Structure formats: C-alpha cells, structure tokens
Amino acid sequence: MLKGKSILITGGTGSFGKKFVEMTLKQHPGVERLVIYSRDELKQYEMNQIFSSREYPQIRYFIGDVRDRDRLIRAFEGIDTVIHAAALKQVPACEYNPFEAVKTNIMGAQNVIEAAIASGVKQVVALSTDKAAAPINLYGATKLCSDKLFTAANLFRGKRDLNFSVVRYGNVMGSRGSVIPFFLNERRKGIIPITDEKMTRFNISLEDGVNLVYFAIQHMWGGEIFVPKIPSYRITELAEAIAPNCRIEHVGVRPGEKIHEEMITETDALNTVEFDKYFVIMPSYPTWDLEKYVKTYNGKPCPQGFRYNSGENSDWLSVDQIREMVRLHVDPGFIVE
C-alpha cells in the first residue's frame, strides 16, 4: 500500500505522528520517505532520538507551521500522501485563545489544501474529532469547518489526480492531554476529579487510529468522512478501573464540554452509509457515483433518526477491559493501587 510512496505528516511530533511513524517503519518498510512537519524544534530533536534519520534514512524532519502556506508548498515537493494531524486541540486553550485556534485549525487547513493542489500531491487525509459533530466549543467548531474545507476541496482540484478525505474518531487512549494519563497522575494524590457521573466517551487506541488512516489511504474516493465503530466507556468506570481506592471529587462540567460525545448526528445520518466496521458520511457534492460506492463496499444507508454518540453506543468497555487496554496502550507497568 505504501511501497515507494513519500508521506508527510503535519503535526508529526504529536502522539499520532509518533505512532504513525513507528507503525509505518515496522509494517511498511518499503515507504520511500516519511517527512515530519512541525513547528517545534525541541520535539523534533527528541523524536530524532527515537527515530534517527541516520538509522532510518527515509525519515526527514522539516520545521514549519501550517499557518505558512509557502513553507507547506516547499515541504510538499515530491510528496504523494499528506496526513494532516496538526491542530490546536485543547478545549480550554482554544476557548481562551479563539483566533489562534482559527488560524491553525481553519486557515491552516486551507493552506494544506492549496499547497497540496500546487505541489502535485496525490492524497490528503485529514484527522478530525468527535467534537466536530454538533460542536459546542470552539475547537469542535474549527474542526467542523476544517472537515468542510477538506471534503469540498475535491470540487476545485481541477483535473489533478488528487483526493481529499477525512477520518473522524473519538478520544485516543494515552494521547497528550487526554483523561487516562490525567487520571494516572491524579491517583497519586488520592483524589480523582470527575466532571459529571453521567459522562461517557468514545475510546480508540493510537494503533487503531493509525490503522483507520491506512484504511482511508487505501479506500478513499475523495470527500468521505470515515467514522469507525468503536466502544464507549463511562467516566465513573474509567475512574474505577484506574483508581478504585481514590476519593471521587465532583468538579462540574467544564466550559465547552459535552456529557456524551457524538460522531454522527441525526442530520448527518441522512447522508451516512453503514459498512461492516465503519460508517462513511458522504460528501454533499460527490464527484463520483454514490450508488456505485455503496455497492462496491457492500454498505447500507443509515435509518432515519439514527445517530452515533457515546451515550447510546451498543459497545461498552468493562472495568477489566479498560485496565487491560491501559496496560496494552498506555502504561505496560500499570497496576491497580
């Protein structure tokens, strides 16, 4: 799938970028180039200690910001596939610094699109978030706008052999700033802060997130939003799994936070097709035959009134399953204290 290809990851020093590089080097040794594009020289230096360009000659480290269109055009030279993972994603930080989020998440997305069109790139896969479905915070709103930009980019690519698609999934286990590392740290204090006992979240491992991107690279026609079928957990059971002997402290829902996360709204479902292990939100203005697409992958339209949110999910993680996943994907030395 990736043999002989040159791939660039924006925001490549983040949790996703590191895992994508790790898995690609192991599973796809025939990849020609892996370019890490990010703005933080320290993080690139630290990543280079793990994935040295001397040991892995296919790796390049490229300093740049998605806000800089000219720099993107230069970085995209000779690139076949772009994975767009760069974003400002911390909800409180985006609420407090709204236009900074707009400049990175929206204007940066448009820069990636224009640079890809100008540089002969073949594929762009953009990472989205469950917070982009019916957003109530600025981060979600900027990512919804980004999703719309990428799906619509297929309409003005001209006759270029270039497709843009999006992958959307829920909370990633162990990613920076996520709840599981936070709980692991807080349990040392003997208190676990919980916003609301009714709160639920989707859950996906970094490995599964990378595999979804691989799947999109292999199957995208351009304009789809790929949504995986993944389990949910209750925040109370997450606390029980990580710190059963700690006291629970209720701190209230933070600004811009939902009780249950959505990935497909009831309105989205009108334009969504279900497949065996995933859903696809179809483009509003497809550049290909919708009926042929559905038949090719044996899909079926979602029923009227359908919605996909973490509170109404049919697949739930138990306390024991959460513990096993923490050991497998976050901290191999994790034990219940």
- CA 107 to chain CA centroid, Å, is 18
Q: How confident is the model at residue 200 (pLDDT cuts 50, 70, 90)?
A: very high
Q: Where are the alpha helices (DSSP H) in 246-296?
A: 290-296
Q: How confident is the model at residue 337 (pLDDT cuts 50, 70, 90)?
A: confident
Beta bridge partners of 61: 36
Q: Rounded CA gap, 109 and 271, in Å? A: 23
Exactly one of 19, 131, 143, 258 is catalytic; name it. 131
Give the per-residue pLDDT at 274: 97
Average pLDDT value for residue range 52-76: 96
Q: 168-197 b/e with 16+ CB inside 10 Å = b? A: bbbbbbbbeebbbbebbebbeeeebebebe
Give the per-residue pLDDT at 47: 96
Give the per-residue pLDDT at 178: 81
Report whether pLDDT(1) > 90: no
pLDDT 10s digits, 111-168: 999 999 999 999 999 999 999 999 999 999 999 999 999 999 999 998 899 999 999 9
Q: Rounded CA gap, 114 and 286, in Å? A: 20
Q: How confident is the model at residue 282 (pLDDT cuts 50, 70, 90)?
A: very high
Give the per-residue pLDDT at 173: 87
Q: Is 131 a catalytic residue?
A: yes
Give the per-residue pLDDT at 50: 95
Rg (CA), the chain: 20
* Nearest Cα to Cα of residue 11 among 106, 87, 114, 93: 87
Give the per-residue pLDDT at 174: 77
Cβ atoms of 73 and 8 closer than 8 Å = no
Average pLDDT, the chain: 94
Give the per-residue pLDDT at 291: 94
* pTM, rounded to two decimals: 0.94
Element (H, E) at 150: helix 138-152
Say which CATH architecture domain 6-170+205-229+263-309 belongs to: 3-Layer(aba) Sandwich (3.40)
Average pLDDT value for residue range 293-322: 95
pLDDT 10s digits, 208-244: 999 999 999 999 999 999 999 999 999 999 999 999 9
pLDDT 10s digits, 67-83: 999 999 999 999 999 99
pLDDT 10s digits, 142-158: 999 999 999 999 999 98
Report whether pLDDT(86) > 90: yes
Give the per-residue pLDDT at 177: 72
